[in-house]
Structure 1
């Protein structure tokens, strides 16, 4: 993938001053991997805010200190999604509303990259609109990204017709034209997953159940959609690689209201819990020598919940722990440079909070650190 020129990351925001009086509070949570670990082992946290996004970065591997917030201006940004590649590059996809040359409102998808922890972003580049006649702001859904093992960026968005649209990079670093992957009745926010075998898989809740697309080989065309008569709540699907080249999808079941795990070729397994209508944060790690899946979600009362169970052994039970912290949107999970589970969320006051795995058996978290200026 061709590297693009890097522009300034923006000003540091202190006490709500500077950078055009932008606040250090988030306007919600981003979609995707908004808590990432760089090649140097430090974590970075990204949140949308009025007029752009804010970034906090660990000052040392494993913390506990953080620098920031640093403000990155993106005029007209309405939604933010974050995806990280195996090379450590962090990709930002935004849905942007802006006024056209003839003063008519328009909407497009924008993309930028951060190549190294704490350094500048590339320039923001428009990826356009998949529709030949762009609609009024609103119909174009939120973009979702996945970065293949070779660094190729894939951008998925639900089209106005209810199917799935794709735009991806070519081997020379340029962007291919938008592709229509078909389907209909798809909900917002498909779950796209880059597998270690180089392929991409996508799953989305639809009016008729579940639609799934996959690549037969790395860089190849997408086959599908395959339809499955299942009932996830739209907008709640999340994806995690739980075996070599094998995806498990997690969602909120529309009938029970609880979390569920599903792999193609099997029936969903109920996990319990009471997640709100947002995707869970998903993570795979070793706990007490066992291969485990860790999930985090915002429940119906607005409180953060943490859960864990055996990888691809969901029927053996899943354990949930209600936390005392309330949150906006979905939480985020990552492993820090010392291999500890880290959970981040956006508090009711719009300020990020971070807790880490404590030493000892099991998975218990430290107190919450509030990130400020």
Structure 2
């Protein structure tokens, strides 16, 4: 779920043969247009990344079948304005010439720095990390090997408000990280962190200028933890199921707060709230009782209110918006789109 320059939210989901898109009719409103079908064939994975310029970038792993067998490449498209058409999907290729080796690459992750440069990261067949980024004038640079080893299929890429790009990659050796020391500078690897995150559970949130907090499900304790560079992970509770811990900063009762959302072990959406960077003082969790599958989505609408979206077991999409009340008050009835 993304917020456009005009204050309208847009919601995207995967479907057979492409994407479905819903668009708010007005900023902060309850009415949505859609679903609109955006065709793109043969995607196995998709990442949606938004830059400070509000452009929405789509990065996909595509597997097409021909007479010589399947071939995999990475594809990219852009939505420049809310409700406007998506550009043609452009292939960014595969960093392997050998077709069979190329089948073993992972899903793309992306980040957009403060200058609007798009960074694409993909786990390679040797379980290291590859980077391709958009150069000056829109021309894409060649794929680069950032090395690494033992990476999981999914990596998490982020860009701070100051334009620093960072990659957080769970692996069989703990967590491996790459980080820029200055905007537009090289990505340098950092010593591995001896923590183990469950596959697909990691998310990143900028909680102070150029400082990220990562949240994940600890593979050993099965609980959610929070971590910032130079500190130990802080357990924050919850009863997580599978999928990502989604995070959002939001003003609640005049305080800077962090909202967490995840599909719980019972299959319903769990919401957690704490003061931003105040996880040690406690995270207050509640069960919405809303059944869901996959990862939820969180965003602030054009009026600064929290909006939550989930996909139901039947494939339908439902949203709910923060209402008047103390803290984060959500109404009991969800709006099915």
Give the whole-Å Cα distance in 2 for the aligned partners of 1:231 and 1:315: 20
- Gaps of at least 5 residues in structure 2 are none
Residues 71 and 103 of structure 2 are in contact (CA less than 8 Å); yes or no, is this contact kept in structure 1? no
In structure 2, C-alpha distance between the alignment counterparts of 1:171 and 1:190, rounded to whole Å: 25
Q: How far is 1:80 from its partner?
A: 1.5
Counterpart of 2:175 in structure 1 is 210
1:53 aligns with: 19
Does 2:303 align with 1:338? yes
Aligned partner of 1:153 in structure 2 is: 118
Q: Is the 8 A contact 1:59 1:66 kept in 2?
A: yes
Q: TM-score under structure 1 normalisation?
A: 0.88
Partner of 1:5: none
Match of 1:191 in 2: 156
Quick check: 1:105–1:137 contact (8 Å CA) kept in 2? no
Partner of 1:84: 50
Counterparts of 1:145 and 1:120 in 2: how far apart (Å)? 21
- CA shift at 1:138, angstroms? 5.2
Indicate the residue corresponding to 2:84 in structure 1.
119
Aligned equivalents of 2:265, 2:229: Cα separation in 1 = 28
SS at match of 1:260: strand
Equivalent in 63, 68, 71 of residue 34 of structure 2: 68
**Residue in 1 that maps onto 2:60:** 94
Following TM superposition, by how much is the alpha carbon of 1:154 offset from its aligned partner in structure 2, in angstroms?
A: 0.7
Paired residues for 1:250-261 under 5 Å: 250-261=215-226
Residue pairs, 1:215-364, within 5 angstroms: 215-364=180-329
Q: CA deviation at 1:137?
A: 7.6
Q: How many residues were matched structurally? A: 336
Contact map agreement 1:206 1:234 (CA 8 A) in 2: no
State the distance in 1 between where 2:54 and 2:256 align.
Answer: 23
* Separation (CA, whole Å) in 1 of partners of 2:159 and 2:74: 20
Give the number of the structure whose residues are more often strand, by fraction.
Answer: 2
Match of 1:165 among 130, 134, 155: 130
Q: Does structure 2 retain, via aligned residues, the 8 Å contact 1:167–1:179?
A: yes
CA deviations on 1:58-112 (whole Å, 9 max, x unpaired) are 0111120000111011011122110001001000111111134x53210111110
SS in 2 for 1:98: strand
Residue 301 of structure 1 and its aligned partner are, at CA, apart by 2.3
Query: Deviations along 1:15-45, whole A, 9 cap, x unmatched?
Result: xxxxxxxxxxxxxxxxxxxx00000000000
Judged with a 3 Å threshold, the aligned counterparts in structure 2 of structure 1 residues 53 and 131 are, in CA distance, closer, same or farther, namely same
In 1, the alpha carbon distance for the partners of 2:93 and 2:196 equals 33
In the TM superposition, residue 368 of structure 1 has moved relative to its aligned partner by 0.7
1:144 matched to 2:103? The reply is: no
Q: Does 1:42 align with 2:8?
A: yes
